[in-house]
Amino acid sequence: MIPELSNPSVCMRDPQRVQEILQSMQKAGSNTLQVISDFDMTLTRFAYNGKRCPTCHNILDNSKLISNDCKEQLKELLNTYYPIEIDSTRSVEEKLPLMVEWWTKAHELLVQEKIKKDMLEVAVRESEAMLREGYQLFFNHLYEHSIPLLIFSAGIGDILEEVIRQAGVFHSNVKVFSNYMDFDETGLLKAFKGELIHIYNKREGALLNTGHFQELRTRPNVLLMGDSLGDLNMADGVQDMENILKIGYLNDKVEERKQSYLDSYDIVLVEDETLEVPNAVLLYLTGNK
C-alpha cells in the first residue's frame, strides 16, 4: 500500500492494524486529519554525520549567549537528570518530580544570564540544529492541504519557532505549545511564562489547551509523531477521536527500548534521520498515492 513501510528502518508490531487505520483515515479524507508532533529529535535530527544534533535547550546552552560558568552548571544538571529520564527501570511517577526539578533549575540558570531577545536569532543561525531530511515536503504539504500541525515541546518555544522560521516552513497552520520566554520591555529574559511543559505532562498541556482542540472537533483523525513514550499522551485533549496512527522515532538505546516502543507506537522508525515514512503516510492520506 505504502512502499516506504517496507524500509529497513521500519518496525511494526501489527502491520495489518496499521493498514486498517490508514485505510480508514484515507477514506475519511484529509479535511478530518490533524498532525500532533513532538519537536526535538522527532522533527529535528538526532544526529548528523555521527555527531549529535542540538535540542532547543542545547542551542541555547551551546551558544555565545551563555557564560562558561552557566554552561558548566547546565552540563552538571544534564549529567544528573538525563540518566534518570531514560532509565527504563523507574516509573513515570518516580521520574516526574525529578524532571520538574531539572527543568526548573535549568530555567532559573538561564534567567540569570540576561539573555537578549534579539540574540536568539543569531544563536539559532550559528547552531547545528537541523530539521529531518524531507522537512520541506512535510511542512509544505500540510500547509497546502490546510492540515493543522500542533507541535508540543518541552523545549523552548522561542527557539523552536526560530528554527522553523529560518528553515522557511513556519506556516500559518502550525501551532506550538511549549515553554516561552518572558522578556521585559528592554528585551531581557526575566522569566518563563505559565506552567512548565516537560516530557511527562504534555498531556496536561494538551488538556489546558482544550479551547484550541475545540476548533479541531471536525478533525477526529490524528497522526501522532514522537520519540519518547511521554509523547504518546499528546493527543489526550482530542475529543471524539476516531483514528490515531502513532509513529515513533527510536533514536538510540535501540535494543533495550525497542519492545516498549513496538508495544506503544504503531510504526517504529529505528535510527532513521528522515521524514520519508511520515511523508509517504501524508501523501497516501491526502490521496496523492
DSSP count for the chain of H helices, then E strands:
11, 11
Which of 14, 38, 61, 118 does the annotation list as catalytic? 38
Tell which residue, 134, 82, 54, has the closest CA to residue 253. Answer: 82
The residue to which cell 522527532 is assigned:
42
H runs (alpha helix) in the chain: 15-28, 56-61, 68-85, 92-111, 120-125, 135-144, 157-166, 202-208, 210-214, 254-264, 276-285
Q: Taking the alpha carbons of 198, 201, 206, 211 in that order, is the dihedral positive or negative? A: negative
Look at residue 181 and give its three-state secondary structure. Answer: strand
Which of 14, 40, 236, 240 does the annotation list as catalytic? 40
Active site (annotated) includes residue 38: yes
- CB of 135 closer than 8 Å to CB of 170: no
Residues with catalytic annotation? 38, 40
